[in-house]
Each structure stands twice: as structure tokens, then as C-alpha cells.
Amino acid sequence: MADYPNAIFGGKTALEFARTPNLDRIASEGEIGLVKTIPQGLPPGSDTANLSVIGYDPNRYYTGRSPFEAASLGIELQPDDVSFRCNLVTLSDETSYRDKSMVDYAAGEITTDEAGELIQSIAVELNTELIKFYRGFRYRHIMVWQGIADQWDLTPPHDISGRTIGNYLPAGIEADQLTGIMERSNILLSEHPVNKKRIKKGLNPANSIWIWGNGRRPLLPSFKEEYGINGAVISAVDLIKGLGILAGLESIDVDGATGDLDTNYEGKVSAALSALKGGHDFVYLHIEAPDECSHRFEAQNKVRAIELIDQKVVQPILSDLEKNNLEFSLLLTADHATPLSLGTHTDDPVPYAIYRSNRPGNNKQCCYDEKNASESGIYFEEGYKLMKHFLQEE
């Protein structure tokens, strides 16, 4: 959600430009500041960022992205397993694999049913005794390699949109084998009936897999052990769900949650409120839409996503908790910045705001955005410490 000033918005960020009366209320009646969720030297991914936000030091616990997603899918990683994120992507039509370009890192937001057929075909053709493919959600899937060293240099596909892929192919241990798997997938998927149907409909075909996000299973202490309370996680994104599961939180599925602009906002809010009233002390509610819009350089849709969060998430949560006279604290933050001008993540500090119903503050007409957060003078250099600050009772 966090961004840079943009000429499209008259020199404002998407947050500044969007109409967000409920986000602004949290900032004006609470505490606002900046938090650095990406430690120096670590990649600015959703994995490292959400580890920080949920209260775990990435320098201590981060092992890679895909192990969280594997946990979400119920894949039990063994100590000598390395898991990989396996995207279904759309590549251009050049003959040489190296000369192809990354047309669409999400293969036209392919449906889960279509993707399931494709991954099944990949598994039949490419599974070995040591390498296995697992079906995930929409374009996001998992590959597990048993007994291999975790020494790779792999590039997220959303970082190279529109670029020729030759300079971004795998490097490291057995790099040629990984590249070979991706090349073979391109041959197989290009002729698959699912993709032929998609092309006839004018949709991007999922004509290759893209392997990245390697890692081993992390050993996280439970959220209950760290903070003394139980909780739940609600997200459409396997990474976030898996992080919650490994932290001992209950992962609550919501029908119609897509991880994009069309997600079921109302369903997520209902699930969060039910969890709080049903015995959970804490709910981690994640909305992916602003990030997806940023990766696709969709400026107006990013603003729309922020406004929908304000209208369909923050407003009804505040209204319901206040109507029922419940004492609560609410933390609002971005996990990381995804500037529209870049289309990828950065490690810039992001704005956060905390509202406590039992001691509302008065920041006058303060708004929730990067500028006001910076001017507050409050800054968490070690982002994982924000969670302890949020949960304090003083």
C-alpha cells in the first residue's frame, strides 16, 4: 500500500490521493509513525515483511518464502527438503527460452481449476524420486526438492515484468537442472488444451512455470509463546496463511477471497469479527489488493483498492466493535512499499497507525499516509518490535 509521490496523483502518493476517512480517523485519534519492516540486507519480500509485522525478527527466523506457502498447503517439509515457489507465468513466443520475455507473472490470473490441470500435467511429466510438484492457488504453486543444498540465486517473476528472462534464469547449485525444468514446462504447457482454450478466449496462456522463493522449513516459536495470547490469520495468500500456521495461529478460510481487487471484503470482516468474539484475542487480517495493483502498474486500481479497504474493512470493523462496546486495539500498516513507478517491492519504511478504544488520542486532522507518518517523529527501526508495542496494555 505504501508508495512514492506520483505525477499521476499531482505529486501525492496513492494513500494521500485516496479518500480514506476511516484510515484517517485511526491516525488522528491514535498513534502514527513509520516502521522498517525489511531489515538491512534482506530481500524486500512479503515474507520478510510479514514476519516483521507479525512480530518475528527476520534476521533470526527467515529461511525463504516458499516454506510458508508449503505449510499453508499442508506440505510437511523434511529437514533436508528445499521448497520453491512455482508460478504459472506467460512468456513471449521467441524460439529460444532465454530470449523470451516475462509477459505476465500471474498468467492472466488463471483460475485455480485451470491451474490444477496444468500442475497435474507438470507433475506427471516432471516429478522424480527427489523432485515433486504440488498444486496451490491460482498461479501460485510449490515444488519440493529432497536432499539438495539451499544455495540459489533466483528472481521473483513480478520483478522482471516486460524484461527478457535470459539474465534472470536460475543461478547456483544445479542451476542448469532448474532451468531445464522450466524449459520443459514451456514445451509441455504451450500445447496443453487448457492454454489453447485460454488463447481462443483472448486470455494469457500459462505457458511456463517460473521457479523462485527457495527455502527450508523455519522453526518459529508459537505466537502464544512469544506474546501470551492466541489468535487467527485471515488471508487469501498462501504465504500469509502458512506464516500464521507455523506461528500457531488458526488459519481461517473465506469463500471468495482472491488476493486481488475482487476479493470478498465482507467475508473477511465477518470472519475476523467472529474470531474475536469466539475466543481469539488477536486477528491478523491481510488484504493483498494494493500490492497486486502496484505490480501491474494500475494506478487507479491501487487507489480503488485502498478506498475499498477503508470502506469495506476498516469502517465495518470499527463500527461493529464500538457498537458492541468492546475494548480493543487496532493496528493498521502496510507490510512493505510497492511503488507504482517501479512495479516491485522496496525496503522503505512504511506508515503504521494504532488506535486504542480505551484511550483515544488527538492528532488533530492527521491523515494516514507516508508524509504524516514521517513527520510524527516516531520510528521503529526494528520492525518486529512494533507488535510488542501494539500488544502492550499500559
- Is 1 inside any structural domain? no
Considering its fold, how many domains does the chain have in total? 2
pLDDT score of 64? 87
Could you tell me if 229 and 209 lie in one domain? Answer: no
Q: What is the distance between the alpha carbons of residues 228 and 210, in angstroms, rounded to a whole number?
A: 40
Task: Mark whether 33 and 128 lie in a shared domain.
Answer: no
User: Is 333 a member of any domain?
Assistant: yes
Helix locations, 310-356, DSSP H:
315-323
pLDDT along the chain (394 residues), means of 10: 97 98 95 96 92 96 91 92 97 97 95 96 97 94 95 92 96 92 98 97 97 92 95 94 94 93 96 96 97 95 98 97 93 97 95 92 84 96 97 73
Residue 360's pLDDT is 76
Supply the angle between the helices 175-190 and 112-126 in degrees, to the nearest 10: 120
Whether 141 and 232 map to the same domain: the answer is no
Determine the Cα–Cα distance for residues 105 and 299; give it in Å rounded to an integer. 18
Same domain, 253 and 279: yes
* The pLDDT of residue 393: 62
- Tell whether 113 and 240 lie within a shared domain: no
Contacts of 23 (CB under 8 A, 6+ apart): 15, 306, 309, 310, 314, 332, 353, 367, 368
Cell numbers placing 34? 513509520
b or e along 89-100 (b: 16 or more beta carbons within 10 Å of the residue's beta carbon)?
bbbeeeeebeeb
The answer to whether residue 211 sits within a structural domain is yes
Together in a domain, 172 and 297: no
Exposed, middle or buried by CB within 10 Å (0-12, 13-18, 19+), for 202? exposed
In a domain, 2, yes or no: no
Cα separations (Å) of 372 from 15, 350, 367?
11, 11, 6
In this structure, what C-alpha cell is assigned to residue 74? 499442508
Domain range holding 211? Answer: 81-215
